[in-house]
Structures are given as C-alpha cells and as structure tokens.
Amino acid sequence: MRFTITRRQFTGGASAFAAATVLAGSLKAQQPSTNEQVRRLTAKLGEAELLETDAPRTPIWGYEGHVPGPELRVAQGKPVAIDLVNSLPQPTTIHWHGIRIDNSMDGVAGLTQTPVTPGETFAYRFSPPDAGTYWYHPHNRTWEQLARGLYGPFIVEEQQPPPCDQDLVLMIDDWRLGDNGHIDEASLGSMHDISHAGRLGNVLTLNGRGEQDIPVRAGQRLRLRLINAANARIIGITFEGHVPMVIALDGQPLDRPFAPGNNLVRLAPAQRADLILDCDQDVGAQTSILADTGREKLRIGRFVYHKEKRERPNILTDIPLLPQNPMPGALDLDRAINVDLEMTGGAMSAFEAAEYKGKRYGARELVREHHKIWAFNGIVGMPQSPLMQIPLGKTVKVRIVNRTAWPHAMHFHGHHVKEVAHARRTPLPYWRDTILMERGEEVTVAFLAHNPGRWMLHCHMLEHQAGGMSSWYEVA
Ligand code: C2O
Ligand code: CU
C-alpha cells in the first residue's frame, strides 16, 4: 500500500485517534532544559512513529535519536553550552537558526567551522540575545540530514513571558516515505527536486507524529510556537473554529499583533510564528488543526477540550505584547549600502550559462556534471568573494528580485532583515530571518550590520540551496 497524505490523514479513523490520545501527554512530557550545565546532544540513528501505531516505524536520523530533537529551552542572554556528539555515518554541524549568534558558533560547514566527523564532538557556546522561537538543524548536507529528521525547537524564554495557560511548540514537517514507511532515499537530492519545488513529501507530521491530540480547557489562553521544518514545502496552518493572533515572527515580537487573513498562518520552510490562541469553544469540543498545502487541507492534530472549563476564563484581556528584544539601533536608509540580488535558474526559466567555482559553464554541463541549476547574480553556489562586504555598523539595503518560476525562502544568517520597499505593495514591518519570495516578486530588505563575521544567505528550500542558491556576505 502506498501511504498518501490524503488516505492516511483523512481516513485515520478511530484507531489512529486512540493511539494519538495515549500520546497526547508527550507534548508536555519533554523536560525543558536550562542553561546551567553543559548539555550533550547526540546526532544518531533512531526510529520514529510517523504513521499509525500499527504501521511500520520509520528509521530516521535524530538528535538523541528522536524527531523532533529535544525541546531546548533557555533563558535570554544567559550562556548556553551544548556539546554536539556526532554518531551519524557522515559529518555534521548544528546551526542555531535565527539566533544572532557569534559567527564562530553559527555552525555552517565550510564557512564558520569544519564539519564534525563521525565520533567527534563540537562544543557550542553562546548567549542568545533575543527571546523567541528558533530552531536547530545541521548545516552540512542539510537537504539530506534535515529530510532524515535532524532538527529540534530552540526556545529562548522572555524574562517575563505573557501569562498563558500552555506554551506549546508545534513543529511541522513534510516527509517523503515509500511503501514500507521508510524514507524514500533514492530520491534524496534528485535533480528533479533540485530544479523544481524542492523535495515535497507525502506525509505531514506535527511534532513527529501524523496526528496529535492537544488537551485544552475552555477558557484557556495558549501560546503556540509554529515552526516549519520541511525541506521545501510552504505550509498554511488553520485552527478550526479559532482565531490565532500572531505576536511574533521568526522569533521577533511584533509591535502590533494581528489575525492573519482567513485565519491562516502561512510559513515558508524555516519560518516561525508565535501565536496567542484563545480556547473559546465549548467543553468537550474537538476541533481540527489543518495544514494547507495549497492543494488540500490535511488534519495534523486536534484540540480536545476537557469536559470542564478553566475555573476563570483567561481570555477576556487584550492580546499581550511581547517584550522588545535588544535589536541594533535604527536603520540609516539614506546612507545605506545598496546591493542587488537577482535569483535566476531552475526549471522553466533556466539560464544559459553561469559562473561556478570561478569558471563559466553552460547550463547543461552544470546540471549534468555538478547538479547545479540556480544562481544569485549569475553565480552558482558559494562565490569565492562575498556577495557583499559591509563595514560594521552600516545599514545595507538588498533588493531581491525573483526571476525564476518558483517561490524561494531567502534566509539571512546572523541578522534579521526588514522589508523597506516592495514593487507591488507596502512593505511589511517585521524583522525576519527568512523571507518568502513568490515568483516574479521584488522586495528590498534592510538591516544594520552589527554582527561581524562571514554569514551565509541562501534559499531554505534545501534542494535549491544544494542546487546553487547559496551565497555569503561579510561584515567586518
Ligand atoms: Cu536554517 Cu542556513 O539555515
Ligand atoms: Cu528556492
């Protein structure tokens, strides 16, 4: 039998739910870690129950053998000490996605560190400056290691978090599994995925399971931390009957929380959203959490209301504002350095030739010999000199134009960026580390270069990154 999202998740039936209920407690069971001691995090082989309980288990690679890896919860501004132990059959690293981190701790193999070989350990030491929702994942052969299950939530807690009854991470992933329930390995890094939309799967999971029951009480206020951990799929989440209020994006608090259009929270790969969600349904209600893939809506979980209300409802007050993070000073847009970033390539609009490792190649040869098909400013893959060189303290404006037939999720390491101009609408006033660029879209983002080092910028649709959409910039 071939598992398809549709069959499994729509006809899940009673047995699937019974199984999910038993495990519902697992959302809470994870013990949050604190910053105090050194924590070991072993990347190793494991098994996961991505499908129904009676279905075959899926061999994965995971932190501590689990997917998602342990939920790391740390205090803002306090030192974090994590030793990565590599028990995988290939070299790896950890990138702390979205953390404005010291460059040497950014975890980018080949740019900020040498990859950690099997059997070796690497000591990550840093103090996260900003509170918010982040995540960790490898930055070596990411297209393969993430698809195999190596990722986990990294939560930096505010000193004074807004009062909520439950603070829950919802980490969503998209898996391509074969008939036997195993990861489809033959298609890992396939040229078709590289040149089209990236690796799209056939099974969606919430926190590593096909369906999650989340116990709630009428009158509760929830803080939900959504993380899109898919290789390439853009996912929209809705909560049947509920109105989510977005209070932070990519870890950074919003000045003005908002309810998204159609109550749908849309996340490109690697993006996060923090939500306040008030449980305003009746006691005993069961409502679906749906993932919209653009073509279908699939249930990935449910809110299961207790038969009793919260004693006093917690949802009558205003939506709380999160405390500000210590972001660098104001942007100096008038005296900014201007940089253009043109995305080209991919199926349906391939370029004729491009530069790769300092030499010029025809498109055919790039595809056939090097599995490359995407370029930034006519350069495929990591350029020898940085895409931009920025003096410390300067403001940069990057005008990004997507001249391809595909959407892309542009991720900047080391800095959050904000839209300051858009070809077709008013720019959105949010600090983000990952920007979704639709086909044909043109947007200018700006940031103040406050964090010295060599930083990567790349498409977080990981097959695109592997196929050439990766570059770097230097702040000195
Ligand atoms: Cu989430 Cu360069 O990575
Ligand atoms: Cu892309």
Q: How confident is the model at residue 14 (pLDDT cuts 50, 70, 90)?
A: very low
Residue nearest atom 1 of ligand 1, based on CA coordinates = 97
- Residue % of the chain over a pLDDT of 70: 92
* pLDDT value for 3: 37
Q: How confident is the model at residue 329 (pLDDT cuts 50, 70, 90)?
A: confident
Residue nearest atom 3 of ligand 1, based on CA coordinates = 97
* pLDDT value for 313: 81
3-class SS of residue 413:
coil
* pLDDT value for 16: 35
Cα 269 from Cα 436, distance rounded (Å): 9
Ligand 1: atom nearest CA of 456 is 2
Comparing 24 with 348, which gets the higher pLDDT? 348
CA 11 to ligand 2 centroid distance, Å: 33
Average pLDDT, the chain: 92
Ligand 1: atom nearest CA of 97 is 1
Domains of the chain: 7-157 (2.60.40.420), 166-305 (2.60.40.420), 333-475 (2.60.40.420)
Q: Which ligand is nearest to the CA of 402?
A: 2
* pLDDT value for 36: 67
Report the relative pairing of strands 395-402 and 337-345 from DSSP bridges.
parallel
CA 297 to ligand 2 centroid distance, Å: 23
E strand intervals along 166-209:
166-175, 203-206
* pLDDT value for 17: 34
Asked if the model's pLDDT at residue 28 lies above 50, the reply is no
Q: How confident is the model at residue 7 (pLDDT cuts 50, 70, 90)?
A: very low
Comparing 7 with 219, which gets the higher pLDDT? 219
Asked if the model's pLDDT at residue 332 lies above 70, the reply is yes
Nearest CA among 168, 148, 177, 153 for reference residue 51: 177
Q: Which ligand is nearest to the CA of 465?
A: 2
**In this structure, what token pair is assigned to residue 456?**
């990567």
CA 366 to ligand 1 centroid distance, Å: 24
Rg (CA), the chain: 22
Q: Which ligand is nearest to the CA of 194?
A: 2
Assess whether the C-beta atom of 272 lies below 6 angstroms from ligand 1: no
Burial code (b: 16+ CB inside 10 Å, e: under 16) for 358-395 equals eeebebeebbeeebbbbbbeebbbbbeebbbebeeeeb
CA 139 to ligand 1 centroid distance, Å: 7
**pLDDT tens-digit series, residues 29-67:** 444 555 668 999 999 999 999 987 788 899 999 999 999
What is the mean pLDDT of the segment spanning 266-290? Answer: 97
What is the mean pLDDT of the segment spanning 174-180? Answer: 95
Distances (CA, A) of 419 to 1, 83, 100: 47, 36, 18
Ligand 1: atom nearest CA of 458 is 2
Q: How confident is the model at residue 317 (pLDDT cuts 50, 70, 90)?
A: confident
Assess whether the C-beta atom of 469 lies below 6 angstroms from ligand 1: no
What is the mean pLDDT of the segment spanning 180-185? Answer: 96
φ, ψ of residue 447 to 5 degrees: the values are -155, 160
Q: Which ligand is nearest to the CA of 143?
A: 1
CA 271 to ligand 2 centroid distance, Å: 14
What is the mean pLDDT of the segment spanning 239-253? Answer: 98
Distances (CA, A) of 344 to 167, 259, 408: 41, 34, 11
Taking CA 347 as the corner, what is the angle to CA 345 and CA 353, rounded to the nearest 5 degrees? Answer: 40
What is the mean pLDDT of the segment spanning 361-372? Answer: 97
Asked if the model's pLDDT at residue 10 lies above 80, the reply is no
Q: How confident is the model at residue 467 (pLDDT cuts 50, 70, 90)?
A: very high
Asked if the model's pLDDT at residue 69 lies above 70, the reply is yes
What is the mean pLDDT of the segment spanning 162-175? Answer: 97
Asked if the model's pLDDT at residue 249 lies above 80, the reply is yes
**pLDDT tens-digit series, residues 420-432:** 999 999 999 999 9
Assess whether the C-beta atom of 268 lies below 6 angstroms from ligand 1: no
CA 2 to ligand 2 centroid distance, Å: 28
* pLDDT value for 27: 40
Assess whether the C-beta atom of 230 lies below 6 angstroms from ligand 1: no
Asked if the model's pLDDT at residue 403 lies above 60, the reply is yes
The whole model's pTM is what? Answer: 0.93
What is the mean pLDDT of the segment spanning 245-272? Answer: 98
